[in-house]
């Protein structure tokens, strides 16, 4: 039943070739880190989206042939009959909820190194894709495809499409985006061919057209055939007779596919972090497509607001609202909109931890939704919670992300929950961090949880309540959770990453000092070996406070780990904009008056950086003294009726927000559970067993 008629347009069916999507919520293909090695994990992850109301649910990239082998990154396969059953598990699960299942068939071309299959990669003209990009670097250059290679790739797409149809998929993709093979043919710089597949835009479009037409001939009678295409680069290219090459390509192919799935060209812009991109950031690139084609168009933009979704449709930008991250953070987003429960939507914060999971080669993890990827392994449903085994009352000390999540899930299970925090405002580290430049969306982690907790009758929230061991023993709760967070130290490390003491000198600070309002005297050096966002963002924050700031790190890049979250290039651009000098591969060894003494990590050559003040963004240590005090007095605990004392989140092991939320969730799910299982182990499903010839 639809609560708000303004949103009725979102629940209209949309025809995609011979199939019909039941509504406009379309979970576009996105990486999940799940492959044929964990088919049940994959099926349950996708099923949850269908259950949550997504009318179409897609796979991530599914390789058509061993020459599209992205290992060690995870990807699906449709290489032979052996792969069908594990995909059927997924399509059956999606169909159970009345949704359509889509498969993103994919050939990686020159952007894969075929590290497992050892086949020389395929490309139009032997030009590698992102060959110098750290993290994807390889030392094999691709082959130049001949006529037979072209015919082979098209045949593999057809064979895979036929298998996909057998596996129950309703929509079959052709992939021409993100540097993969179809894209390489479209872009002049990658395609230097002089045959019918190179030269004019029409010729460069031919390969993609043939892939679509062959797929349609094979399965188009009963399956929708979708084209996924990146338009950023093409839109920037002039065309003789059209507004841009993107306009020309879309015109040339306009009604060939049954669906246009339009996107950006590279991960940092396509899956843009909220620190740099607003909701709906793709619109200036993809807004023209619907004006050219009569076929439905789907696109993404981290949409979580139903008003913005409706506006995309009413203004003629999109027909289907694509969601990847929005659906990872809240698989039940469509249902919540339908039922008018907008405040229950767990909005994506745009941190891109999900994409970092793919770069790590593991199943997806999400900061906002601890159940993502754990639906089958741990049996965690994002909206259903086991009833309590006892009437124990739970006291949580610390209302940061870990404490709030533990409290929320324990309360949803039905426990009586108390959260006490020493500060006036619950939210822990987020109270400061969400105020830093670009990180306001991260505040959703606390806002969503605090709002939900405030609605619940079985929850008491006590800000401004510092707790010590005596207070806890007196309170009469049976379950104690210590979620007291961590603190930044002034510890330094050697080039071998061995701790070499603490730089306890005047005008040396940590992010905790900055959080409590210190504005250091300029010039300020931010010395970062945390390597995630904090060093870069503190440097930017201090510039905004009027400081003259430089940045140094022993790593090879500023904020080096943000390569994993697609933020690295944008962070560099921001540091440049803010006139922050960056020195890499350098260790801070000492401070003498207004000089920071640095040493090259490889050559040991000494250098100096002018710095009246230094902010060390390095090692964090747990605030675990309250926990230690409590567990050191077992008799007092049992006298007070306390059954358990646990420590979670940063107080246990300092980490990113995702770790803290997960730890809180895991605690609350495990409370009173008889069997403390780690997780269920998934196994491949095969038809023929090992040893099949490919």
Compute the least distance from the CB of residue 622 to ligand ADP, in Å: 9
Which listed option, ligand ADP, ligand SF4, none, makes contact with residue 374 (CB within 5 to 8 Å by class)? none
Strand partners, 462: 420
Task: Give the C-alpha separation, 65 to 57, whole Å.
Answer: 23
**Residues written for the chain:** 694
CB 64 within 8 A of CB 112: no
Nearest in space to 19 (alpha carbons), one of 323, 333, 236, 296: 296
Which listed option, ligand SF4, ligand ADP, none, makes contact with residue 348 (CB within 5 to 8 Å by class)? ligand SF4
Q: Which of 81, 202, 466, 470 binds ligand ADP (CB under 6 A)?
A: 466
Which listed option, ligand ADP, ligand SF4, none, makes contact with residue 367 (CB within 5 to 8 Å by class)? ligand SF4
Compute the least distance from the CB of residue 452 to ligand ADP, in Å: 16
Of 79-87, 130-138, 220-228, 414-422, the window that binds ligand ADP (rule: CB under 6 A) is 414-422
Q: Binding of ligand ADP at residue 485 (CB under 6 A)?
A: yes
Q: Which of 308, 422, 432, 522 binds ligand ADP (CB under 6 A)?
A: 422
Choice between 271 and 320, CB closer to ligand SF4: 271
Compute the least distance from the CB of residue 200 to ligand ADP, in Å: 56
DSSP 101-141: EEEEEE--GGG---TTT-PPPEESSSPPSSTTSTTT--S-P
Task: Write the CA distances from 70 to 114, 175, 362, integer angstroms.
Answer: 6, 15, 14
Choice between 116 and 625, CB closer to ligand ADP: 625
Q: Which of 73, 105, 420, 560 binds ligand ADP (CB under 6 A)?
A: 420
- Alpha-helical (H) ranges within 220-317 are 232-235, 245-252, 267-270, 283-286, 289-292, 306-314
Choice between 520 and 536, CB closer to ligand SF4: 536
The distance from CA 248 to its chain's CA centroid, rounded to whole angstroms, is 33
Task: Write the CA distances from 659 to 367, 373, 435, 666, integer angstroms.
Answer: 8, 14, 21, 10
Compute the least distance from the CB of residue 354 to ligand SF4, in Å: 3
Task: Give the C-alpha separation, 502 to 492, whole Å.
Answer: 6
Q: Taking the C-alpha atoms of 364, 365, 367 and 371 in order, what is their torsion angle to the nearest 10 degrees?
A: 100
| Catalytic residue flag (residue 180) | yes
CB 103 within 8 A of CB 172: yes
CB 618 within 8 A of CB 489: yes
Strand partners, 461: 419
Task: Write the CA distances from 266 to 178, 567, 580, integer angstroms.
Answer: 5, 12, 26
Which listed option, ligand ADP, ligand SF4, none, makes contact with residue 368 (CB within 5 to 8 Å by class)? ligand SF4
Compute the least distance from the CB of residue 445 to ligand ADP, in Å: 9
Task: Give the C-alpha separation, 239 to 107, whole Å.
Answer: 27
CB 255 within 8 A of CB 200: no
CB 50 within 8 A of CB 57: yes
Residue tagged 């030269």 (tokens): 199
Q: Binding of ligand ADP at residue 484 (CB under 6 A)?
A: yes
Choice between 313 and 467, CB closer to ligand ADP: 467
CB 484 within 8 A of CB 648: no
Choice between 459 and 588, CB closer to ligand ADP: 459
Compute the least distance from the CB of residue 327 to ligand SF4, in Å: 8
Of 156-164, 374-382, 481-489, 685-693, the window that binds ligand ADP (rule: CB under 6 A) is 481-489
- Alpha-helical (H) ranges within 167-224 are 181-186, 201-219
- Tokens in use for 104? 């993103």
CB 104 within 8 A of CB 61: yes
Under rule CB under 6 A, which residues in 274-313 are in contact with ligand ADP? none
Choice between 67 and 352, CB closer to ligand SF4: 352
Choice between 591 and 659, CB closer to ligand SF4: 659
The distance from CA 87 to its chain's CA centroid, rounded to whole angstroms, is 23
Compute the least distance from the CB of residue 300 to ligand SF4, in Å: 12
Q: Which of 423, 584, 589, 629 binds ligand ADP (CB under 6 A)?
A: 423
Under rule CB under 6 A, which residues in 386-405 are in contact with ligand ADP? 397-403
Compute the least distance from the CB of residue 371 to ligand ADP, in Å: 18
Choice between 327 and 428, CB closer to ligand ADP: 428
Compute the least distance from the CB of residue 388 to ligand ADP, in Å: 23
CB 596 within 8 A of CB 609: yes
Tell me how crowded residue 243 is: count the other CB atoms within 10 A of its CB: 12
- Tokens in use for 251? 């015109």
Per-residue contact flags (x/-) with ligand ADP for residues 570 to 609, judged by CB under 6 A: ----------------------------------------
Q: Dmax of the chain from CA atoms?
A: 85
CB 183 within 8 A of CB 136: no
Residues that bind ligand SF4 (CB under 6 A): 325, 328-329, 348-354, 366-368
Nearest in space to 121 (alpha carbons), one of 176, 186, 68, 192: 68
Q: Taking the C-alpha atoms of 327, 331, 337 and 341 in order, what is their torsion angle to the nearest 10 degrees?
A: -130
Which listed option, ligand ADP, ligand SF4, none, makes contact with residue 483 (CB within 5 to 8 Å by class)? ligand ADP
The distance from CA 395 to its chain's CA centroid, rounded to whole angstroms, is 32
CB 116 within 8 A of CB 69: yes
Q: Binding of ligand ADP at residue 418 (CB under 6 A)?
A: no
Under rule CB under 6 A, which residues in 625-684 are in contact with ligand ADP? 626, 649-651, 660
The distance from CA 659 to its chain's CA centroid, rounded to whole angstroms, is 14
Of 26, 122, 175, 180, the active-site residue reads 180
Task: Give the C-alpha separation, 607 to 266, whole Å.
Answer: 37
Compute the least distance from the CB of residue 352 to ligand SF4, in Å: 5
Which listed option, ligand ADP, ligand SF4, none, makes contact with residue 352 (CB within 5 to 8 Å by class)? ligand SF4
Choice between 466 and 590, CB closer to ligand ADP: 466
Nearest in space to 532 (alpha carbons), one of 511, 494, 560: 560
Choice between 44 and 430, CB closer to ligand ADP: 430
Choice between 376 and 627, CB closer to ligand ADP: 627
Total residues contacting ligand ADP (rule CB under 6 A)?
24
Which listed option, ligand ADP, ligand SF4, none, makes contact with residue 467 (CB within 5 to 8 Å by class)? ligand ADP
Which listed option, ligand ADP, ligand SF4, none, makes contact with residue 351 (CB within 5 to 8 Å by class)? ligand SF4
Choice between 378 and 591, CB closer to ligand SF4: 378
Which listed option, ligand ADP, ligand SF4, none, makes contact with residue 484 (CB within 5 to 8 Å by class)? ligand ADP
Which listed option, ligand ADP, ligand SF4, none, makes contact with residue 399 (CB within 5 to 8 Å by class)? ligand ADP
Which listed option, ligand ADP, ligand SF4, none, makes contact with residue 353 (CB within 5 to 8 Å by class)? ligand SF4
The distance from CA 470 to its chain's CA centroid, rounded to whole angstroms, is 42
Strand partners, 224: 171
Compute the least distance from the CB of residue 250 to ligand ADP, in Å: 46
Q: Give the binding site for ligand ADP (CB under 6 A).
A: 397-403, 420-423, 428-429, 466-467, 483-485, 623, 626, 649-651, 660
| Catalytic residue ranges | 180
């Amino acid at each position: 039943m639809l609560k708000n008629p303004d949103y009725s347009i979102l629940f209209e069916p949309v025809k995609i070739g011979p199939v019909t999507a039941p509504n406009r919520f379309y979970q576009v293909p996105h990486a999940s880190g799940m492959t044929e090695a964990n088919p049940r994990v994959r099926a349950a992850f996708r099923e949850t989206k269908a259950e949550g109301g997504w009318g179409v649910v897609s796979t991530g990239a599914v390789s058509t042939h061993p020459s599209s082998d992205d290992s060690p990154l995870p990807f699906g396969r449709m290489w032979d009959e052996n792969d069908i059953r594990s995909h059927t598990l997924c399509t059956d699960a999606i169909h159970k909820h009345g949704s359509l299942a889509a498969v993103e068939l994919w050939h990686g071309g020159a952007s894969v190194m075929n590290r497992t299959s050892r086949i020389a990669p395929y490309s139009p003209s032997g030009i590698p894709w992102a060959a110098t990009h750290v993290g994807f670097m390889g030392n094999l250059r691709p082959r130049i495809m001949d006529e037979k290679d072209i015919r082979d790739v098209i045949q593999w797409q057809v064979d895979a499409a036929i298998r996909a149809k057998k596996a129950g998929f309703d929509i079959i993709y052709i992939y021409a985006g993100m540097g993969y093979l179809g894209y390489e043919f479209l872009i002049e710089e990658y395609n230097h061919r002089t045959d019918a597949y190179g030269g004019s835009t029409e010729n460069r479009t031919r390969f993609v057209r043939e892939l679509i037409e062959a797929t349609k001939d094979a399965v188009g009678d009963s399956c929708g055939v979708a084209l996924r295409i990146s338009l950023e680069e093409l839109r920037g290219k002039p065309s003789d007779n059209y507004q841009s090459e993107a306009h020309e390509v879309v015109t040339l192919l306009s009604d060939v596919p049954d669906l246009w799935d339009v996107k950006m060209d590279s991960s940092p812009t396509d899956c843009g972090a909220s620190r740099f991109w607003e909701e709906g950031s793709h619109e200036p690139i993809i807004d023209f497509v619907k004006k050219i084609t009569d076929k439905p168009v789907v696109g993404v933009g981290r949409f979580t607001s139903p008003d913005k979704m409706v506006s995309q449709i009413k203004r003629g930008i999109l027909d289907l609202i694509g969601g990847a991250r929005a659906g990872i953070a809240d698989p039940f987003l469509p249902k919540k909109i339908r039922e008018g429960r907008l405040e229950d939507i767990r909005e994506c914060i745009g941190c891109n931890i999900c994409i970092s999971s793919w770069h790590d080669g593991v199943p997806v993890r999400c900061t906002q939704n601890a159940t993502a990827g754990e639906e089958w392994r741990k049996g965690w449903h994002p909206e259903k919670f086991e009833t309590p085994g006892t009437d124990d009352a739970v006291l949580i000390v610390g209302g940061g992300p870990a404490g709030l999540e533990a409290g929320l899930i324990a309360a949803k299970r039905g426990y009586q929950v108390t959260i006490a925090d020493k500060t006036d405002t619950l939210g822990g580290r987020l109270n400061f961090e969400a105020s830093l430049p670009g990180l306001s969306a991260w505040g959703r982690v606390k806002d969503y949880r605090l709002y939900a907790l405030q609605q619940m009758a079985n929850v008491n929230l006590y800000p401004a309540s510092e707790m010590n061991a005596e207070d806890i023993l007196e309170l009469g709760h049976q379950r104690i959770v210590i979620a007291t967070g961590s603190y930044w130290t002034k510890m330094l490390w050697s080039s071998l990453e061995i701790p070499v003491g603490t730089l306890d000198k005047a005008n040396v600070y940590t992010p905790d000092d900055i959080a409590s309002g210190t504005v250091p005297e300029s010039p300020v050096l931010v010395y970062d070996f945390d390597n995630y966002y904090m060093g870069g963002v503190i440097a930017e924050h201090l510039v905004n406070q009027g400081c003259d700031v430089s940045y140094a790190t022993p790593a090879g890049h500023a904020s080096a780990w943000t390569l994993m979250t697609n933020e690295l290039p944008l962070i560099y651009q921001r540091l440049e904009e803010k006139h922050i000098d960056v020195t890499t591969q350098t260790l801070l060894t000492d401070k003498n008056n207004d000089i920071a003494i640095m040493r090259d990590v490889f050559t040991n050559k000494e250098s100096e950086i002018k710095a009246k003040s230094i902010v060390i963004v390095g090692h964090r240590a747990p605030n675990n003294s309250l926990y230690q005090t409590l567990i050191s007095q077992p008799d007092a605990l049992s006298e007070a009726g306390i059954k358990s004392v646990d420590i979670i989140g940063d107080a246990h092991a300092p980490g990113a927000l995702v770790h803290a939320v997960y730890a809180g969730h895991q605690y609350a799910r495990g409370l009173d559970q008889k069997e403390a299982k780690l997780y269920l182990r998934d196994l491949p499903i095969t038809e023929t067993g090992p040893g099949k010839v490919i």
